[in-house]
Amino acid sequence: MPEPLLEVRGLCRTFGDVRAVDDVTFTLPDGGSLGIVGESGSGKTTTARIVVGLDRADAGHVRVRGQDRTTQPRGRAERLARARQIQMVFQDPYLSLDPRTSVEAVLRETLELHRPGTDPAPRIRELLDQVGLGTRAADALPRELSGGQRQRVAIARALAVEPAVLVLDEAVAALDVSVQAQILNLLADIRDATGVGYLFITHDLGVVRCVTDDVIVMRRGRIVESGRTADVLALPNHAYTRLLMDSVPRPGWDPHAIGAARRALRNDDTPA
């Protein structure tokens, strides 16, 4: 059996008394797209940060094509190799770009770090084209761009090193709905074109339905449900998944019933 693209086994992380991530296990196949859903505080962002290496796990491991990346990287070569394994697009495009650095400079920095000695200009044009930004945007500073444009820059930056896995941490949450749709389409196109695997961290079930093949539902650091996205959303097994789905505002939506369901769920957890 071939190695899965991304394999996460038994990941644990505690902050003080809080078990932010508790025995999380999942795999992402080549070119796959996996959604991690959950409300704020469910541990999905901590999971993402451990996967990309911004945080460390107390236990468990993260492997990309069988190579472990749980320990601290030793030396520059290993650091760069890891950066080429997994890249990340952050939630807030207003904060994830250095306000002083132009679009072109952001991409050039990364390309010069990973491909020293080659002229970055053609690749920069290619990347801007790939994310639907004209070369005119190249000289712009982040503050001169809209949220959607900034997120395109962030995606271009992440794609610059041709990563195997792209982690998208609430990557469309800060954008308004029409721009969300554009970015989601763009991400789908990029996956078709490059075969990159997506790990999609989101609280938005609509987003999950659009762009993921599989989904895991996290609650209080644990995975409560997992499976094909279509199956989970059509027939949720766990009460929490149903609650998340019911929480999406729509006609006939009853916030009081959701509050009651949430309390009932909380009471169920209280150890006897």
Partner 1 sequence: MTMTLVRRPGLARLRATDRGPLYLASAGFVGLVVAVALLAPWIAPHDPNTVELGNALAAPSGDHLLGVDAAGRDTLSRLVVGARTSLLGPLGVVVFSTLAGGAVGVVAGWRGGWLDSLLSRTTELTLAFPGLLLAILFTSVYGEGLLAPVVALSIAYLPYVARLARSLVLAERERPYVAAYRVQGHSGTDVCLRHVVPNIAPVVLAQCTVNFGYALIDLAGLSFLGLGVPALTPDWGRMVFDGKSAIQSGYPLSAIVPCLVIILTVVAFNVVGEHWADKVAGRNR
How far is the CA of 167 from the CAs of 222, 232, 247, in angstroms?
19, 21, 25
Using CB under 8 A, which of 44, 63, 108, 157 touches partner 1?
157
* Local structure of 148: helix, strand or coil: helix
Contacts 24+ apart (CB under 8 A), 175-182: 175/93, 175/147, 175/148, 175/151, 176/147, 179/146, 179/147, 179/148, 179/151, 180/207, 182/132, 182/148
200 touches partner 1 (CB under 8 A): no
Pairing of strands 214-219, 33-37: parallel
100 touches partner 1 (CB under 8 A): yes
Listed ranges 89-97, 217-225, 235-243, 261-269: which one lies at the site for partner 1 (CB under 8 A):
89-97
Residue (33 or 87) nearer to partner 1, CB = 87
How far is the CA of 5 from the CAs of 36, 47, 155, 222, in angstroms?
17, 17, 20, 22
Using CB under 8 A, which of 58, 80, 192, 228 touches partner 1?
80
Q: Which two tokens stand for residue 80?
A: 């760069």
233 touches partner 1 (CB under 8 A): no
Shortest gap between Cβ of 10 and partner 1 (angstroms)?
A: 23
Residue (179 or 245) nearer to partner 1, CB = 179
95 touches partner 1 (CB under 8 A): yes
* Local structure of 53: helix, strand or coil: coil
33 touches partner 1 (CB under 8 A): no
79 touches partner 1 (CB under 8 A): yes
Q: Do the Cβ atoms of 212 and 198 come closer than 8 Å?
A: yes
271 touches partner 1 (CB under 8 A): no
Using CB under 8 A, which of 26, 90, 198, 200 touches partner 1?
90
149 touches partner 1 (CB under 8 A): yes
23 touches partner 1 (CB under 8 A): no
